[in-house]
Structure 1
């Protein structure tokens, strides 16, 4: 048989990755999930609802400065959609095209499709940067990357499915340590900014991978390290300028660095492994906050490939670590950051190093910082396996196939989540009619006034009410956000309840504020009527 030309192998490699990504999207996500419209009969849930609300309000608002500002959510102060994980990188072009989109459209489902298609494509691009350009190793990389458990397990949080940005960042590192050019550094700058606009956590990881370029060159004793350092400064400067221009600076969160950390056993803990999942009953956790954010099972294919490399060619592994010492140091630093100051192994905290520095409180879900490590291990393992004589390429392909098969329970779980159709817990048709007659919505209790544990369920009702209001979108007083500026928003519902209703205002009272509203709100007895478990209060309708 005549061997394929290099060009044909490239075309077939990217073609396979593209078809694989499209097939996985079609097999996993229903059409109404990918392309939502207003008036749906089912309610979005949890964080996915938060993200969809933010995007819908953003798409329905006028262009403002900063570009991510939404005036009608958290009115009158407004909201930066990045603080509600609204994926600005996608939201901005969608807003430019909003006149062509269906009423009530948002891009959260569409982002899943983009991420799942890009993941295998970016893996092939990254593997080629490692010098491996043959077809079968590329197929192995596409299969294995699409099956990385930490990637698949991001359902419910669309922005964080953007693991392909880490593959692009790693691919840029591999190209830049071999040859620097203005074009590559410009791509690195654009990648850094774009990844920030997907999610700040991913943006920080991408910058860390690029920072390994000058460190590796310096440790090799090569002169290009200084120019590479300037390139990293340009990337960091572009990210900082974007954060300033787009309103990111000054944001704060709930803190709690270490609450959602990487458990030392997590990379080898086979939760949702098709081959080994029966050995464990749940995610591993030593913090008491659950193991989801620290979930980093590497997959049986990758672990088997790593063990094979260490057994068959330890010198090649040691040589690769020396050649990429800067990257190894960066990955070690990210691992330590992921583990946090309270180190857990299994179900026990084995070491507590005390309070962390204050700036680390921004990284509450520190376990995520292991994602670039898993990405680098995957690409490096396939590249090194494929170089073994005779058995290398079959071994790399077997790694990809085993990794893909091992991830089946994770694929089943995300497909089940995407296909779930939860009914509205509020009277959606009645609320849509009320929203059509209102000029603004005051929803009580507001988000800061719903304190955990929320036994009444007002947090879930808030998201459902705001999901309905976002279909217009109707100006609303409150929103659940991941970050905010200044001090945490305070509960001032008592003052809001004490104020009389304004013309055009629809004041919706959830069960948690019902007693206070009936006792303190002027005219509550005549202005409020039940709508299911809610009270709808307004002056004479228009």
Structure 2
């Protein structure tokens, strides 16, 4: 009920269930994800299953490299004959994630042995108000923090009484999380990897079987990556550029009570602090202090009993901080060049998310066991209410974002009419070739033109990808500009390529016309 209420009050119906012909323009990363899903859903089935062939000729691209949430996109593609025209599931995914977050939190807490109603309400409120979870608007896949609660809940059950069906559930959860986002899959594998380590440190002989279970989870993820075309992907690198600032967990940006002390994210890297944003929330911090003061022995006993998990969480924290340690607005320690494989984790600050999740569930479980039990249960409820109230600015921010109705900066009605008659779209300059002075505006225009093309979808020549196979593509639009217009081709020229097109494109004087700020060309 809590999750459904939050979905209904945060996301409008046309955001959750979009269709073609909308009067407002999608923005930023959310536009990228929606474009990729629309092209995937409208394309023929291919192998690997996630391959999108009606874009970026001749090879197309993998849906996962555009963060298109394959776990949801695959069933939507099966149902495309009954879906509205231009439907995509990016908005729907926000609803799923916000619905599942409090549910997964209660399931996770039950794995710690706490099954009473009042503490369950408290942890549901607190989990749905974790700032790092709420603050992921704009990137739909990464709102799937409920997967971390599922991974932690599996850990808590597996260290208590591992069984084949629990490990089978862990295998399925690992592979499914990969199809949401690889970062989340890596975090879930880390949480599951703590199972054999904890069992070993307890002196239990079951560590070997638990280790085999973790290997099975890793094998399922690896096999899924190989079968679905994930392998061989590369990004821009930059491990440490988007790291966790040491002060971030206690830096109260967007806190209702303490937000006046923090006007923006804390950052020492010069790249902004959004990816490293990990304010724990006032309720959780108060709960941690209470646990330290009221139950220090129980806290130490919990750490010893879950020593393997504590070690894994410490390792994830170090990975999140990176080799360039930021404290406030200064780098206080630089360990030099990191190993090459870490370049895959450019946004390393995200790896603190499982730590915050474990701190929440552990604190609630610990406080709920204090005496007298009834008072302890209501103390946990108070923690949840404080956390929920303190997160109001974050909820307001994501609601305002979801309900924003940004007008098109391109002439959407005219382009829709032209695209309806086109067999393919050539958009110039391509994504990587936009001149630096025009990057911000032309990239926004590209996403809008591609959003309109994706409503059918019309095969297109360019796309914004987070990762790609092999070397980074080179910018070379010269041949595309100089090529004669093909029958059925709609060539859309952004301001960044206008002069080159008018000077070098055959028939430019007779085949092209202005449509707003764009130059649109086609054979008559």
Query: TM-score scaled by structure 1?
Result: 0.96
1:513 aligns with 2:519: no
Partner of 2:133: 151
1:160 aligns with 2:142: yes
Matches within 5 A, 1:295-306: 295-306=277-288
Partner of 1:477: 461
Aligned partners of 1:415, 1:227: CA distance in 2, in Å? 46
Partner of 2:171: 189
Partner of 1:404: 388
1:80-121 CA deviation, whole Å, 9 max, x = no partner? 110000000000011111111100000000000000000000
Structure 1 runs not aligned, ≥5 long: 1-18
Q: 1:141 deviation in Å?
A: 0.6
Equivalent of 1:442 in 404, 415, 426? 426
1:256 aligns with 2:238: yes
Between Structure 1 and Structure 2, how many residues are aligned?
522
Equivalent of 1:43 in 8, 11, 25? 25
Aligned partners of 1:432, 1:450: CA distance in 2, in Å? 23
Gap change, CA 1:453 and 1:369, over 3 Å in 2: farther
Partner of 1:425: 409
CA RMSD, Structure 1 to Structure 2 (Å):
0.8
Aligned partners of 2:467, 2:290: CA distance in 1, in Å? 44
SS at match of 1:349: strand
Aligned partners of 2:509, 2:264: CA distance in 1, in Å? 50
1:536 aligns with 2:520: yes
Q: 1:502 deviation in Å?
A: 1.0
Matches within 5 A, 1:282-297: 282-297=264-279
Partner of 2:39: 57
Aligned partners of 1:452, 1:254: CA distance in 2, in Å? 17
1:193-215 CA deviation, whole Å, 9 max, x = no partner? 00000000000000000000000
Q: Contact 1:76–1:477 (CA<8 Å) still a contact in 2?
A: no
Displaced runs of 4 or more, over 4 A: none
Q: Contact 2:435–2:496 (CA<8 Å) still a contact in 1?
A: no
Gap change, CA 1:336 and 1:211, over 3 Å in 2: same
Aligned partners of 1:482, 1:87: CA distance in 2, in Å? 13
Partner of 1:344: 326
Aligned partners of 2:435, 2:231: CA distance in 1, in Å? 27
Matches within 5 A, 1:381-392: 381-390=363-372, 391-392=375-376
SS at match of 2:356: helix
Q: Contact 1:506–1:538 (CA<8 Å) still a contact in 2?
A: yes
Partner of 1:212: 194
Q: 1:451 deviation in Å?
A: 4.9
Q: Contact 1:456–1:511 (CA<8 Å) still a contact in 2?
A: no
Aligned partners of 1:451, 1:376: CA distance in 2, in Å? 45
Aligned partners of 1:455, 1:398: CA distance in 2, in Å? 48
Structure 2 runs not aligned, ≥5 long: none
Q: 1:125 deviation in Å?
A: 0.2
1:498 aligns with 2:482: yes
Aligned partners of 1:329, 1:53: CA distance in 2, in Å? 40
Aligned partners of 1:241, 1:281: CA distance in 2, in Å? 45
Q: 1:453 deviation in Å?
A: 5.4
